[in-house]
Structure 1
Amino acid sequence: MSGKSGPSGTSGTSASVPRAPRALASLRERLRDTFWCAPAAGLVGAFALWLVLSELDTRIVAYLKEEGAYEELGDLLTFAGDARTIVTTVSAAMMTFIGVVFSISLVAVQMASGQLTPRVVRIFVRSRISKLTLTVFLATFAFSLLVLTSYEGGAEPDPHRVTSAPLLQSLLTLGLVGLSLLLFVAYVSSTLRLMQVGPVLDHIAGESLRALARQPEGSADEPSLGPVTAHVAHRDRAGVLRGVSVARLVRAARRHGVVLRLVPRTGDFLVPGMPVLAVHGGAAPSRRALRHAVSVGVERTLFQDPAFGLRQLSDIALRALSSSVNDPTTAVQCLDRIVQYLAVAVRLPLTPLHHRDRRGDVRLVQQVPGWTDLVDLAFEEIRGCAAASPQVTRRLLAGLDDLLLLAPEERKEPLLRHRVLLVEAVERTVPEAAGRAFALRPDRQGIG
């Protein structure tokens, strides 16, 4: 099976979801994880703009010469000559400017990844302002070089002999310089925010909640799949399962009259030979029918893996609680976002997804993390490291109590279990009765 994901269609949606997934959603998500696409498009766009404006400038000069407006043409050439100095300066300085700006930015990203988690580099890679800034910078540099080739003659070309004057090209170059300066300010502001804990956690939480909202609702009814009749093994490179093309798998299952069940969960690591799909009710679809149905990459993403957001928040909290960092306030901020995430997830079904075809028949079954899985991911490791930090234990107890108020009766068990385990850990770690009482007092701010 291929390691690239195909576009999503309308036939792969769950029956309980009224809207279909966006076309080419997984392709768009893959492009967002690359940093080269937007700058490359900007360079191509700069070349196309230069061709168009060069032709327009040539027509303007030809029109003025036909009308005998040599005085106006002389003024135009004078302006173009003055702008030539600016364009030359821009072309000489822009590449150095790009190198300095992004060298500083990469140092800032490295500091943020060292203080928080290496996963924050993904935020920089997916940042729209970062891509837009680099795109405009490179486009300005390339366009200014192209404009220099459009100048004719010496410093004062003869209006009667000149065939083109880069008037519009020079104006656009000046506009690109102004835009570059504005984007530089916005880019520096965005990079500085990346070095702050609060905005990074807010970004992770926001992406995680959007990923949770995109996830189709599972069905409470468990259809009978019947025995497993075949397996489809992973034949591509080893890597993390980033997502699947639901529409492609549903179409393949419908054509072969079978039900497919995704064996690994999104985020699992696959190696060649591992079963990736279980087939119920018939023979396995051909490799051609399943091509581009499974996306495998080097790291997890939030596109079809909402639990990855909890993993990132937990990683940041664990690093903050380590003896080398010892920053319980950052751990408390992570717990704020974890409770926010679970407060939304507690209202969701979190049952296996049954994707149906247009006739309503189940064609693809996809496992998702259940409520207990999410609670364990959120609290298990943090609870084990927090017993000696009263600020964190107080916030963790307050968060568990808040979630217990929101959770229905059938979902309270994992929350109560973690609360009991936390109390036992504090009682083992803190010998003084007054210290234990203080550490076990719920407080949403930890310690004020």
Structure 2
Amino acid sequence: MLSPLREHLRDTFWFAPSAALALVCVLWLLANWVDTAVVDELQRQEEYGAIQDLMGVVDDLKTVVTTVSSAMMTFIGVVFSISLVAVQMASGQFTPRVVRIFVRSRITKLTFAVFLATFALSLLVLTSYSGEPDPKLVSSVPFVQSVLTIVLVALSLLLFIAYVNTTLRLMRVGHVVDRITAEAFRVLHKMPHGAPADRPLGAQSGQIGHGGRAGVLRDVNIARLVRAARRQGVVLRLIPRIGDFVVPGTPVLAVHGGGAPSRGALGYTVSVGVERTFHQDVGFGLRQLSDIALRALSPAVNDPTTAVQCLDRIVQLLAALAARPLGTVGHRDHHGEVRLLQPVPSWENLVDLGFAEIRTYAVGSPQVTRRLVAALDELLRLTPDERRAPLLRHRALLVHAVERAVPEAAERDFALEGDRQGIG
């Protein structure tokens, strides 16, 4: 159902530039073959004047190609040095977790890949230029190669404009929280909607421990685990949640209904890393939004408006989760049988993640407390009755905290009045 390899490649920065360098080498070989074939055909037809004209055009283009080869690498270094400074500023202003947004940015990878490809192609084209002046003896005229280089230069300029625009947008908090929310909703839409199982799970017959390196559980290969469980005729239950830290020997899978699948069948099904990712982590979006809000509420920053923007998105995510089955999701095989049970945060866990820390540090900011009251009241209207308890608890704790911290009755009333804009 999900592709861990695809997500892992998106979290790296080396794959796209490496693929672009390999592709540009293939393009150069193809263009070189075309140039050679054209010259051979013209020589066969004794069209030496046409060859001479091509050589004149190529000599004019050589100046451009030479300039590109000497300037492109310097241009790449300057542009991406500035970008690294921008990333550092964004991580300090918002949260270090937003760095992955820059790493996963398609326009950033595409720009870097095209820049490197243009530089590499210009060097390759320079090797194709011949000093032979006689059109009867020349073996190839790099006309197509030179034109391809000019096309890549034009594409580089267009991508540079798009890249600067995207980078500047990602330095603005509104666009950052919007990107985080969009990724969180992509994870949400991939979650199964149904109940985890149609019948009782049965007794546990075994456990399988983690055999790899220690790290954060980033994702599991759901399709492979479902196939292994179906072949063995069992149900597998993932014990840790995505985002938990596991060490070698930590039980990661429980087996129900029979013997455990072989180690070979379960190979490459659990992936750990140094940090959490969005791939299957339902709560990671709320974690990032909460981190940005906490950084904004710190005395060093003191930016309650950013915290209000984060609360807007937290409400949006929780409203979408309000009616969904949580706690455990089931993944079915092609016969409709549940073969893998995966724990996800419960409704109470998600509400605590979205509001607990912000509520603690928001007491001194009436803008944030007013938005918190409005957020909790809005969610109370949207959620089923059985899920109202965590929201009521946070509302009561907020009221008590403001009453303790604000001695003036009029100030307390103002701070606890619901307002969707904080102080609109």
Q: Secondary structure at 2:344's aligned position in 1?
A: coil
1:221 CA drift (Å): 5.2
Q: Which amino acid aligns with 1:38?
A: A
Q: Secondary structure at 1:354's aligned position in 2?
A: strand
Q: Which amino acid aligns with 1:43?
A: L
Q: Is the 8 A contact 1:152 1:165 kept in 2?
A: yes
Report the counterpart of residue 86 of structure 1 in structure 2. Answer: 64
Among 243, 252, 259, the residue aligned to 2:228: 252
Among 175, 178, 182, the residue aligned to 2:151: 175
2:214 is equivalent to residue 233 of structure 1: no
2:277 is equivalent to residue 283 of structure 1: no
Among 87, 91, 101, the residue aligned to 1:113: 91
Q: Is the 8 A contact 2:282 2:344 kept in 1?
A: no
1:174 CA drift (Å): 0.6
CA distance in 2, matches of 1:84, 1:431: 78
Q: Secondary structure at 2:264's aligned position in 1?
A: coil
1:223 CA drift (Å): 2.8
CA distance in 1, matches of 2:67, 2:134: 24
Q: Is the 8 A contact 1:219 1:354 kept in 2?
A: yes
Q: Which amino acid aligns with 1:251?
A: R
Among 195, 205, 214, the residue aligned to 1:219: 195
Report the counterpart of residue 118 of structure 2 in structure 1. Answer: 140
Q: What 5-or-longer segments of structure 2 have no aligned partner?
A: none
Report the counterpart of residue 55 of structure 2 in structure 1. Answer: 77
Q: Is the 8 A contact 1:217 1:350 kept in 2?
A: no
More displaced, 361-370 or 387-396?
Answer: 361-370
Q: Which amino acid aligns with 1:167?
A: F
CA distance in 2, matches of 1:388, 1:273: 45
Among 5, 15, 33, the residue aligned to 2:11: 33
Higher relative contact order (CA 8 A, sep 6+): 1
State the aligned residue count. Answer: 424
Report the counterpart of residue 5 of structure 1 in structure 2. Answer: none
User: Would the alpha carbon gap of residues 274 and 323 (structure 1) be closer, same or farther in structure 2, given more than 3 Å must change?
Assistant: same
Q: Is the 8 A contact 1:262 1:367 kept in 2?
A: yes
Among 323, 330, 335, the residue aligned to 2:299: 323
1:395 CA drift (Å): 0.5
Among 273, 279, 286, the residue aligned to 1:303: 279
Q: Is the 8 A contact 1:220 1:351 kept in 2?
A: no
2:390 is equivalent to residue 431 of structure 1: no
Report the counterpart of residue 137 of structure 2 in structure 1. Answer: 161
CA distance in 2, matches of 1:254, 1:68: 70
Q: Secondary structure at 1:347's aligned position in 2?
A: coil
Report the counterpart of residue 4 of structure 1 in structure 2. Answer: none
TM-score, normalization: structure 2?
Answer: 0.98
Among 206, 210, 228, the residue aligned to 2:182: 206
Q: Is the 8 A contact 2:197 2:338 kept in 1?
A: no
Q: Which amino acid aligns with 2:185?
A: L
Report the counterpart of residue 127 of structure 2 in structure 1. Answer: 149
More displaced, 241-250 or 303-312?
Answer: 241-250
2:310 is equivalent to residue 334 of structure 1: yes
1:220 CA drift (Å): 6.3
* Cα deviation code 1:293-315 (max 9, x no counterpart): 11111111111112100000000
User: Would the alpha carbon gap of residues 176 and 191 (structure 1) be closer, same or farther in structure 2, given more than 3 Å must change?
Assistant: same
CA distance in 1, matches of 2:290, 2:181: 12
CA distance in 2, matches of 1:397, 1:445: 11
Query: Structure 1 vs Structure 2: percent identity of aligned residues?
Result: 66
Q: Secondary structure at 1:295's aligned position in 2?
A: strand
1:254 CA drift (Å): 2.1
Report the counterpart of residue 379 of structure 1 in structure 2. Answer: 355
